[in-house]
Amino acid sequence: MGLLSKKDSKLILDPLADNNPITIQVLGICSALAITAQLKASIVMAVSVIVVLGVGNVVISLMRNIIPSKIRIIVQLVIVAALVIMVDQVLKAFAYELSKQLSVFIGLIITNCIIMGRFEAFALGNNPWRSFLDGIGNAAGYGLILVIVGFFRELLGSGTLLGFKVLGDPIEQTGLYSIGYENNGFMLLSPMALIVIGLIIWVQRARNKDLIEE
Amino acid sequence: MAKRTDKNSYTIIFAIIMVLVVGSLLAGIAQGLRPKITENERFEKQQNILYAMGVNDNAGPGDVAFVPTDKVEESFNKYIKEQLVIQGDSVTEDSQAYLIDLKKEESLAKEDEDYKRRLPLFVGEKDGKTMYIIPMRGKGLWDAIWGFVAVDKDFVVQGVYFDHKGETPGLGANIKERYFMDDFEGEQVMDGDVFKGIDVAKGNNDPTNERKDDQKVDALAGATITGNGVTAMIKKDMALYVPYIEKLNTQQ
């Protein structure tokens, strides 16, 4: 890639697979369980986290030499909380419908361990451009898992994708339902998200033996 | 030598400045966006009320489409003939009645037993038919649920709109889906002369909702507590309006 040096593109690509925040670092699990019952919510959560983490990492990185180390965690919290509130307010003013569907999820971004983790582990020690790439990469890695989990949960749990009835209509008994297929309501509950994530971790480690711990 | 940023005085000054900057930034944004946000909330209420009385943009069978925001004010004025505020025995007309905060009224009434709740009621007219749209508010599984139920003078439900703050997506959150809300249409809330409300019933022998006089609609699977919340909300809040609508009927 001409735009990014090899080292820089590694910052973006690594968290997508071999250093994925959810499946390898096991961060951000709570929100991955809570909001993946529908694909749409997963996608919007992924986009919001990309925005917040990308901007947040840059802000922290710009301030990294003036932040007093004794209160750095508090500073990080204040910055992420402020960003999240801004996103929330802007959505409420300009995309009211969307913000209504997401109200709880937007607030949940603050509690996402990936954000504080990247601030602490990366942005405090790197320049803004690299921090930005790292933020985007990690948030995208998180978002990727969210979308995969959301896809399977909505498809198998509700028989829809983004609200479209892709498997036919369960009430009218059309499509797959006409041959006796049933939605699995269990997929809509959080435990199934954990199991789906477990399966993803299994697949990933089976394909790449380097990831298996001794 | 210690780093400059490790000094206590630096830490304290940094914290103060940070709080001031972030605080005023957020306050500024909130203040700047407030008019836009309140307007959105106002439109939403009007859209909800209109939806309950069957004025909407639904195209397909699964749609829940409101009147578009740019037209809602106009439709609201067209279809809503009267906005009443019932307080004890007095009934006044108030064009801002739809902005009354039910939650606030409820807590005022709870604190002070003598306080008479202000009850907003909307009288709408569509295709020559008069209906009373009753706002309500209750508790779901995780958080508040609320809605509007439109009844005609014989207490037959003409339409409903339900919404929630944080019910489980895919389960309780489905109270705002068409297949749940549409079931209420045509239901009778009175059993003879007695107000019964509408029961969101599990194990209902009438899942396709053929019987409209049984005060029952079929519950959502996996959403027992949200469903019970809807039942309780209708029972509790609609009961407040029944005497008034009955009085109107006897006067005619």
**ipTM greater than 0.95:** no
Q: Does A75 touch chain B (CB under 8 A)?
A: yes
B33 to A92: CB separation less than 8 angstroms, yes or no: yes
Nearest to B10 among A68, A103, A154 (CB): A68
Residue A79: list chain B partners with CB under 8 A: 22
Nearest to A38 among B10, B40, B169 (CB): B169
B26 to A69: CB separation less than 8 angstroms, yes or no: no
In this model, does residue A45 exceed pLDDT 90? no
Separation CA B52–CA B230 (nearest Å): 15
Q: Give phi and psi for B81, each to the nearest 5.
A: -85, -40
In this model, does residue A6 exceed pLDDT 90? no
pLDDT level of residue B156 (50, 70, 90 thresholds): very high
What is the rounded (10 degree) CA torsion for A119, A124, A125, A128?
80
What are the pLDDT digits (tens) for A122-145?
888 889 999 999 999 999 999 999
Nearest to A75 among B18, B25, B29 (CB): B18
Q: Does A80 touch chain B (CB under 8 A)?
A: no
What are the pLDDT digits (tens) for A157-171?
888 888 788 887 776
Q: Does A173 touch chain B (CB under 8 A)?
A: no
pLDDT, position A10:
81
Percent of chain A whose predicted confidence (pLDDT) is above 90: 18
Arithmetic mean of pLDDT, B16-22: 93
Token match 């505020």: residue?
A: B85
Domain boundaries along the sequence of chain A = 38-205
A67 to B29: CB separation less than 8 angstroms, yes or no: no
pLDDT, position A158:
81
In this model, does residue A75 exceed pLDDT 50? yes
A93 to B37: CB separation less than 8 angstroms, yes or no: yes
pLDDT level of residue B1 (50, 70, 90 thresholds): very low
**Which amino acid, B171?**
L
Q: Considering only A33-37, A51-55, B110-114, B157-161, which range has the smallest mean pLDDT?
A: A33-37
Percent of chain B whose predicted confidence (pLDDT) is above 90: 35
Q: Considering only A26-30, A143-147, B124-128, which range has the smallest mean pLDDT?
A: A26-30
Residue B42: list chain A partners with CB under 8 A: none
pLDDT, position A103:
65
**B114 CA: distance to closest CA in chain A (Å):** 36
Percent of chain B whose predicted confidence (pLDDT) is above 70: 98
Q: Does A104 touch chain B (CB under 8 A)?
A: yes
Separation CA B51–CA B43 (nearest Å): 12
In this model, does residue A1 exceed pLDDT 50? no
In this model, does residue B141 exceed pLDDT 80? yes
B6 to A66: CB separation less than 8 angstroms, yes or no: no
**A202 CA: distance to closest CA in chain B (Å):** 27
**B181 CA: distance to closest CA in chain A (Å):** 15
Q: Which long-range contacts (CB under 8 A, 24 or more apart) does B204-211 make?
A: B209/B183
Residue B6 has which token pair?
């490790």
Separation CA A187–CA B172 (nearest Å): 15
In this model, does residue B160 exceed pLDDT 90? yes
**B176 CA: distance to closest CA in chain A (Å):** 12
Nearest to B170 among A82, A103, A157 (CB): A157
Separation CA A24–CA A210 (nearest Å): 12
Separation CA B150–CA B145 (nearest Å): 17
CA gyration radius, chain A? 19
Please state, rounded to an integer, the average pLDDT across all residues of chain A. 84
